[in-house]
Amino acid sequence: MKQENQLHGSSLNLAPEQIKKICAEIVDYLSNKENPRYTQKVRPKLTDRQYSDLSALERMPYHGSEAVSTFEKYIQLLTTQAVSTSHPGFLAYIMGAASDVSVLADFLAAAISAPQTSASTSHLTTMIEAQTIKWMCQLLGYPETGSGLFVSGGSVANLIALQAAIKKKRTQNIVDLNQYRVYVSKYSHSSISSAVSISGLLPDQCIQYIETTQEHTLSISDLKTKIKHDQEYGYIPLMVIGIAGCTSLGVIDPLLVLSDICMKEDIWFHIDAAYGGFAVLSQEYSEALKGMQFSDSLTIDPHKWMYAAADVGCILVKDPNILFNTFNQSGAYYSSDDLTFSNHLQFRDLGIQTTRSFRALKVKLSLEIAGRIGYQQMIEKDIHLAKYAYKLALDHPNLEAYSCHLSIVTLRFNPNLATDENFISETNLNKINQEIIDDLHQLGDFFPSHTWVNNKYLIRLCIVNLNTTEETIHGLLEAIDEVGKSKTCNYLTHMSTQ
C-alpha cells in the first residue's frame, strides 16, 4: 500500500527510483555547460502555453499529483524560463553566480536536514558552523577570538550588529532610544534604515547621513562635525558605519580613519562589507580594506562575492560574548544540556532565528575546495573584467564612463560626446538611458541594472559572476550602443516634429 501511495503522489516520501529519476534530471541540468542557464536569454519570455499552464494552477489542487511528472514540469519550466544569476549576462544588483559546489552543498544540507540551533541538539553541524566562522575570520583578517553566525544576508547581519551596539550602550541607563545617533554615508544600503526602524528608533531622527567627498567616500570632516554637534546637544553617538564597497558604485570608505575616531569617541564601529570585504584577497584592494580587523562588527555576504547559492550572509563580532548577551532567551522547552557547551555553539541565542538552515556547509565546502588562492584568482578576474568594461567605455565614442570601483562599473550612453554641442539635455539623457535598460531587459540577452549619482541615471554593471567573460562585456556594450542609437534617433525625430 505504501509503494502504491508513493507512486500516485499521495506521499511526500518518494520511492527510491522516483528520487533517482528526479535527481538525475536536475544533475543533468547542472552538469551540462551547454544548458540554458548559460546559453539562453538571461530573462526569457514565457510562452502563451506556459502562462496558460501556470494559470491553471491558480487554485491549490485538492488531490495530489504524481511526483516525477510534476517535478519534470517544473524542471522544464524553471531551467528554460527563470532568471538565473549564473547566466554570464546577469550583471545586476550584487547577486553572485551560484557555484556548482554551493548548489550541491545546499542539496546535501537540505537532505541531511540538521537542526542548526545548538550544540546539544546537533553537535556535529554546529561545530562545522563554528569552524567555518573561524575560517571566515582568517580569510578576512578578522580577530579569531570573536564570534559570529551565518544568517540570510546583509540586511539581517546589519540588524544584528545594531542590536548588539544598543545592548552594549544600554548600560548607560538610556530611557529614550531616539537619543542615539547612527552615522553613515548617503551611499549606505537601505537595510541600515530598516534596521534602525525595526530596532525601535526613528530613522529621521537617529540616522545622521554624512556628506561624501568627490570620490564618493564618507567625509571625515563632516563626520567629526556631526559627532561633536550631537554630543553638545545631549545625543549619544551609537554607531559609525563604514562601507566596504557601496552598492551603487563600489567605493570603500576610509576604514582605518573611522576606526581611530570610533576608538577615541567610544563609538561602536560597524563595517558593511557585505560585497566588497572579499576584495581584501586581491592585491589591488587589500590596503584599502585594512581596518576591517578593528571593527566591532562586520557584515559579509558569501552569496555575493563568494559565489554561494542564496541565501547566506554572515555577521562577525569582535566581542565573543556580545551576541549571546544580546539575543539569549531562556525557555522551558530548551535543553538544559545547552549550558554545558560554549556560547559560541548556541546559534539560536546569537541572532534572531531559532530554526536555522545549515548555511555554513556551502561556505565551508567552497573554502575547502577553492582555498584562499582560488578565491583570490576568481575575485581578481572580476576586478579585471570591470576595468576592461571601463576601458572599453572610455574609448567608445558614444559611451560616457563614469566610475570603476572593485567590480562595479557605471556608465551611460551619451551621443553628445561625438559633437561640440550638448544637443540632448541631461533630463533627456536620463530618459534615454532608462529606456536602454528597459529594452535590454526586454531583449533578454543581458541584465544590467542602474543607479542615480548626482542626478545622473547611470547604467551599472556589477560583475560577481564566475561565468562572465570579456566577450560578455564586449557584447553588452555593443548592445547599449545599438539600443542607444535607436533611442536617440527616435528622440530627434520626435523633436523635429515639435
SS3 (DSSP) at 369: helix
Q: How much of the chain is in helix, strand and coil states, percent to nearest 5?
A: 50, 15, 35
Per-residue model confidence (pLDDT) at position 45:
74
Cα distances from 115 to residues 62, 121, 125, 126, 297, in angstroms, run: 31, 7, 8, 9, 26
For 198, the grid coordinates are 525595526
**Do residues 302 and 363 make contact, with C-beta atoms less than 8 angstroms apart?**
yes
- Fold designation for 114-358: Aspartate Aminotransferase; domain 2 (3.40.640)
Cα distances from 24 to residues 14, 19, 36, 46, in angstroms, run: 15, 8, 17, 25
Strands (E), 80-146: 90-91
Beta-carbon contacts of 444 under 8 Å, excluding residues fewer than 6 positions away, are 41, 42, 43, 44, 45
Residue 115 DSSP class = -
For the segment 157-168, what is each residue's pLDDT rounded down to a tens digit?
Answer: 999 999 999 999
The residue extents of the domains of the chain are 2-82, 114-358, 377-496
Task: Name residue 178's amino acid.
Answer: N
Confidence band (pLDDT; 50, 70, 90) for 335? Answer: low
Domain 377-496: which CATH number of 3.40.50.300, 3.90.1150.170, 3.50.50.60, 3.40.630.30: 3.90.1150.170
Q: Is pLDDT at 339 greater than 60 in this prediction? A: no
Number of other residues whose CB lies within 10 A of the CB of residue 224: 13
Same fold, 114-358 and 377-496: no
What's the average model confidence in pLDDT over 381-395?
A: 98
Q: Is pLDDT at 206 greater than 90 in this prediction? A: yes
SS3 (DSSP) at 40: coil
Confidence band (pLDDT; 50, 70, 90) for 418? Answer: confident
For the segment 63-105, what is each residue's pLDDT rounded down to a tens digit?
Answer: 888 999 999 989 988 888 889 999 999 999 999 999 999 999 9
The CA distance from 363 to 131, in Å, is: 11
For the segment 460-492, what is each residue's pLDDT rounded down to a tens digit?
Answer: 999 999 999 999 999 999 999 999 999 998 888
Q: Nearest 5°: CA angle at 132, between 255 and 293?
A: 15
User: What pairs with residue 410 in β-bridges?
Assistant: 403, 460
The CA distance from 460 to 481, in Å, is: 15
**Do residues 43 and 80 make contact, with C-beta atoms less than 8 angstroms apart?**
no
Per-residue model confidence (pLDDT) at position 348:
92
Per-residue model confidence (pLDDT) at position 119:
84
Quick one: which of 139, 32, 129, 134 has its CA closest to 75? 32
Strands (E), 133-197: 147-151, 180-185
Per-residue model confidence (pLDDT) at position 18:
95
The CA distance from 186 to 430, in Å, is: 21
Per-residue model confidence (pLDDT) at position 61:
82
Out of 48-52, 287-291, 353-357, least confident range: 48-52
Beta-carbon contacts of 369 under 8 Å, excluding residues fewer than 6 positions away, are 101
Peptide bond into 222 cis (omega under 30): no
Quick one: which of 205, 137, 383 has its CA closest to 283? 383
* Residue 283 buriedness (CB in 10 A; 0-12 / 13-18 / 19+): exposed
For the segment 164-183, what is each residue's pLDDT rounded down to a tens digit?
Answer: 999 998 866 677 889 999 99
Q: Is pLDDT at 55 greater than 70 in this prediction? A: no
Give the pairing type, strands 447-453 and 456-462: antiparallel
Per-residue model confidence (pLDDT) at position 4:
46
φ/ψ of 5, rounded to 5, equals -60, -40
Per-residue model confidence (pLDDT) at position 336:
55
Per-residue model confidence (pLDDT) at position 475:
97
Length of the chain: 498
For the segment 1-30, what is each residue's pLDDT rounded down to a tens digit?
Answer: 444 444 444 589 999 999 999 999 999 988
**Do residues 109 and 311 make contact, with C-beta atoms less than 8 angstroms apart?**
no
Please state, for a pLDDT cut of 70, what percent of the chain lies above it. 92
